Amino acid sequence: MPATIIVGAQWGDEGKGKATDLLADATDLVVRYQGGNNAGHTVIVGDEVFKLHLIPSGILYPHVTPVIGDGVVVDPEVVLGELDGLDERGLDPYGRVKVSGNAHLIMPYHRELDLLIERRLGKAKLGTTKRGIGPAYADKASRVGLRFQDLFDEKIFRQKLEAALVHKNEQLSRIYNRLPMSADEIAEEYLGYAERLRPLLTDTTDLIHTSLEAGRHIILEGAQGTLLDLDHGTYPFVTSSNPVAGGALTGAGLGPRHVDRVIGITKAYVTRVGAGPFPTELDGDIAERMTEHGGEYGTTTGRRRRVGWFDAVLARYANRVNGFTDLFLTKLDVLSEFDELRVCVAYRYEGETYEHFPPHQSIIHHAEPVYETMPGWKTDITDVTRYDDLPAEARAYVERLEELADAPVTWVSVGPKRSQTLVRRDVPLVPGT
């Protein structure tokens, strides 16, 4: 059976956790394919709130196997903390979660370097989550990373660690004036995690493919978002992995023919955490209301998210680089606040108009948004259960976004709960469900 990719269409925090959880009811496996615990995916079930960082959002369903794929970077201490938390809540994560042996490890020097590099950048800092993500992916690309499988072979673990530490300690002491790290201390800590993590070690590529061959369905759950993609985002203000749909293939070990659905998750406005260009960014009273009404504070770092009007240039671009079959539009309820809404349909820069994402970073930094104004609906829509029962202005807004993004909006979310989701087109992920 073909797989479905769930990908953030903006700068992260679009509601991927909510969408994945909702759709996972009909699936068998939920696979995280990139990123690490820089992600924070919120799932709300009844009165219970789950903030997931590494564990896939399918964990709430007993029939789903949550998988951490090859492309993810894993901090063993964090993953154990998250597993323990979910264990206390009765979800049996130790018996269910599978981790690829090829996933790279986040080491203590990655976390330390993430902090030091940011500090050294001063005003030019990226505003990373300080979880060691960039340094861990850099080591992977430089072929000096340690992988999840290495935790279970002490000799190899120590060998690789000592080799890596030669360079890391030079960097820490010579550039950053820090004390060198001890291989023995790190080995003791990390190898100490191995026993509890061993049951999770899995050949996830084999698991994914035997599952597909047996007719099971898979959701590939993205972290971050398209504009944070290392290749396609607003570089250098990006993360160090590939959240886009192509990254799902490499990160899980699939080919394009294994996937038949790519669902773009997009807020009805835009947010961003950390530094970088943001053409439709707002400040003042409107921003304040959007932030407060939308609860726009980071799930991982608690930082206040920057907010702005919906940007159709970004949406069109995200559709191009991911090839969306559907959009899952979230947080429409947050816009009930406003008398009128603005939608950015193009950018203007030095007398030129750009309907598509500009090719040069400077243009994105200085782009003036060209806005269309639409009437608001000024009614609470959080209890609406059918799309047709939304106020006409809300439907007109959704339909305009759909037209501008050039991808069909299949789901409209009007609150964080599963029940607060309106289905516009009944196209089940798994035929017959």
| Binding interface with ligand GDP (CB under 6 A) | 8, 12-18, 40-42, 44, 295, 299, 330-331, 333-334, 413-416
Q: Which of 21, 28, 41, 53 is catalytic?
A: 41
**Considering only CA atoms, which of 232, 320, 327 is closest in space to residue 11?**
232
**CA 300, CA 284: separation in Å to the nearest integer?**
25
Q: Using CB under 6 A as the criterion, what x/- string covers residues 217-256 for binding ligand IMO?
A: ------xxx--x----------xx----------------
Binding status of residue 38 toward Mg ion by CB under 5 A: no
N-terminal to C-terminal alpha carbon distance within the chain: 13
**Cα dihedral 170→175→181→187 (10° resolution):** -70
**Considering only CA atoms, which of 109, 79, 89, 66 is closest in space to residue 202?**
66
330 DSSP β-pair partners: 267
Please identify, using beta-carbon distances, which residue of 231 and 292 lies nearer to ligand GDP. Answer: 292
Q: Which of 13, 139, 326, 333 is catalytic?
A: 13
Amino acid at 112: E
Binding partner of residue 150 among ligand GDP, ligand IMO, Mg ion, none, CB cut-off 5 to 8 Å per kind? none
Cβ neighbourhood burial of 387 (10 Å; 0-12, 13-18, 19+): middle
Per the annotation, the verdict on 41 as an active-site residue is yes
Judged by CB under 6 A, the residue of 1, 5, 28, 40 near ligand IMO is 40
Binding status of residue 129 toward ligand IMO by CB under 6 A: yes
Q: Are 4 and 27 within 8 A, CB to CB? A: yes
CB atoms within 10 A of CB 350: 8
Nearest distance from C-beta of residue 350 to ligand IMO, angstroms? 27
Q: Are 147 and 157 within 8 A, CB to CB? A: no
Judged by CB under 5 A, the residue of 40, 56, 246, 415 near Mg ion is 40
DSSP string, 155-204: HHHHHHHHHHHHHHHHIIIIIT--PPPPHHHHHHHHHHHHHHHGGGEE-H
Judged by CB under 5 A, the residue of 299, 330, 410, 420 near Mg ion is 299
Q: Using CB under 6 A as the criterion, what x/- string covers residues 99-128 for binding ligand IMO?
A: ---------------------------xxx
Nearest distance from C-beta of residue 276 to ligand IMO, angstroms? 6
Q: Are 429 and 260 within 8 A, CB to CB? A: no
DSSP three-state, residue 151: helix
Per the annotation, the verdict on 426 as an active-site residue is no
Q: In the structure encoding, which two tokens stand for residue 208, read together?
A: 């994914």
Evaluated on CA atoms 102, 100, 33, 84, the torsion sign reads negative
Binding partner of residue 413 among ligand IMO, ligand GDP, Mg ion, none, CB cut-off 5 to 8 Å per kind? ligand GDP
**CA 318, CA 266: separation in Å to the nearest integer?**
10
Binding partner of residue 224 among ligand IMO, ligand GDP, Mg ion, none, CB cut-off 5 to 8 Å per kind? ligand IMO
Judged by CB under 6 A, the residue of 39, 99, 207, 208 near ligand IMO is 39
Binding status of residue 133 toward ligand IMO by CB under 6 A: yes
Q: Which residue is nearest to ligand IMO (CB)?
A: 274
Binding partner of residue 228 among Mg ion, ligand GDP, ligand IMO, none, CB cut-off 5 to 8 Å per kind? ligand IMO
Nearest distance from C-beta of residue 8 to ligand IMO, angstroms? 6
- Judged by the rule CB under 6 A, the positions of this chain that interact with ligand IMO are 8, 11-13, 38-41, 126-129, 131, 133-134, 223-225, 228, 239-240, 273-274, 299
- Judged by the rule CB under 5 A, the positions of this chain that interact with Mg ion are 13, 40, 299
Active site residues: 13, 41
